[in-house]
Every structure is written in structure tokens, then in C-alpha cells.
Amino acid sequence: MTNSINFTKMQGIGNDFVIVEGCEVKKHNLDYSELAIKMCDRNFGIGADGLIIVNPPEINANTDTSWRIFNSDGSEPQMCGNGIRCFAKYVYDKGIVTKKSFSIHTLAGTIIPEILDSGEVRVDMGKPILEAKQIPTSIDNVDQVIDYTVEVEDKSFNINAISMGNPHCIIFTEDDSEYMAKTYGPKFEKLGLFPEKTNVEFVKILSSDRIKVDVWERGCGITLACGTGACASTVAAILNNLVNNFVIVDLPGGSLKVEWVKNNSFNKVFMTGSSEFVFEGKYFLY
């Protein structure tokens, strides 16, 4: 029907997305932000943490494929780790790309995923951004925000600010990390130290190679998983000498494998995890 568009629902360890191909939205000249708000609504729409556009017609990049992603509130993040795995699985299984390793144009730069024989997706997430102004933060008296003390509601927190293409505020805690994320996540998201707002991770160290992460996601709130958050939390834990360079990250929706490979000539984070199709359908526009 002419008043509908085709969509696919996918999820990566509980972080769920509605995926629409660019040719579908081009037919109707749709506003991405408005579409995301409507389609992601869990009561009146399909329900998802975000909307992914496959090969948006306005992007002409020198990569194998491209995407845009929008949060459920209509905002556009630079990057999404679980979303990029779902996108990679989608374009490979649909035959949009035929190589198992390929390039994706994103607002965070070119991202390289690889479809593994196991069905998991390993993503080269690139170099973590540690420079305070590039994250960005408004903290101007330090080069890096690592184990930096701030006061929120008369409570002292030691924060770590890292970007994986989007800003993250990581806080290590021995308290209930789920409770802390729900209670203090929204306060840190809009804290004046982060001019573009921030994702917030409360992290418990379980061992030298395993951490537990609860996430308050910028523009979404509490989510079951956050791929870039898992990467940023791992980098922060390594910088604070709390874990090894390869870590299992336990999130409410499942686990990811994150490795920070760094030497004199190489500096990249790799994330490996699952992504699954849920269902397909038609969404009626009016």
C-alpha cells in the first residue's frame, strides 16, 4: 500500500531497533526524527530504542554502505555499538553487501564490521577519544577526565569521560549499579560538564576480565545494552588499572566481548557480540 513502508525489527542483546531502507523513506519524503519518535513508541508504534536508516539517499560516501540512526526521542547520535552490529547483520543477510568485512559511513567516521563464521559481528570501533575538549566536556583544567571528582546533589562521584564517537561518563561503583543508573543517570546526562549531554555508565568490577555495566543512554534512558558504553567502560577500567585489555562486559540484555589493542603504532577498540532479526512488517504512515 502506498501509505506504508516496510521495516525490520532487530535486537542486539536487548537493545532493539527498527530498520528502514533509504528507498522506503525517499518515496514519502519523511522526516527521520519525527519517524523515529512515532515508530519507536512502545505503545502507539512498533517499539524500539532507535530507528536505523539503511543507505540514506542524501549520503554519497566512498564506503561500502552508509547509515543514519535516531534515538527514540528523535535525536541523532554519532554512533551506536549494538545498532551497528544489527545494521551490519542486516545489510549482509539482505545481500546489500556481499563481503564479510566492509566499511560503513557514520557520523563518527568510517566503521568496519566483520561477520564471523559463528554469526556474531566483530566491530572495529576505532580509537577511543580521551581528550576532554573532543569528547566534549566543558572541563578546561585537565587534558583527560579520568578519575575526576564532581559533586551531584551533595554526593561525590569520580567520573571518567570517554568518547567512542559519542560521549560517555563512566562511574565505578560498589553499590547497586542498576539503582545508581536509574537514580543518577538522568542527572549526569544533562550535567553542565557535558555540552552535548552524555551517556552514563555505572560499572562494577567483577574480576580482572569481567565487568557489569548498567547504562542510562542519552536520548533513551535505561536500556538493556549499549555497545559504545561497553567499549567506553572497558577503556575507563583499563586506564584505572582495574582490568586486563580483554574484558567480558555483562549488560542487562546479555554480554559483549571488548578488547582494547594498543601499542606504539596501533590504538583501536574491538567489540564482538550477537545481533538477531525479530520480525518484519509494514508500518502505516497515515
**Residue 153 confidence (pLDDT):** 87
Domains contained in the chain, CATH given: 4-114+276-284 (3.10.310.10), 132-273 (3.10.310.10)
**Residue 150 confidence (pLDDT):** 96
0.85 exceeded by the pTM?
A: yes
**Residue 140 confidence (pLDDT):** 85
Q: Where are the beta strands (DSSP E) in the chain?
A: 4-12, 15-21, 50-54, 65-71, 104-106, 109-115, 121-126, 148-152, 155-163, 167-172, 199-207, 210-217, 221-223, 246-251, 254-262, 267-273, 276-284
**Residue 67 confidence (pLDDT):** 97
pLDDT in tens, the chain (286 residues): 479 999 999 999 999 999 999 999 998 989 999 999 999 999 999 999 999 999 999 999 999 999 999 999 999 999 999 999 999 999 999 999 999 999 999 999 999 999 999 999 999 999 999 999 999 999 988 999 999 999 998 899 999 999 999 999 999 999 999 999 999 999 999 999 999 999 999 999 999 999 999 999 998 899 999 999 999 999 999 999 999 999 999 999 999 999 999 988 899 999 999 999 999 999 999 7
The per-residue DSSP string of 21-61 comes to EHHHHHHHT--HHHHHHHHH-TTTS---SEEEEES-TT---
pLDDT tens digits, one per residue of 71-117:
999 999 999 999 999 999 999 999 999 999 999 999 999 999 999 99
**Residue 219 confidence (pLDDT):** 87
What is the set of active-site residues? 80, 226
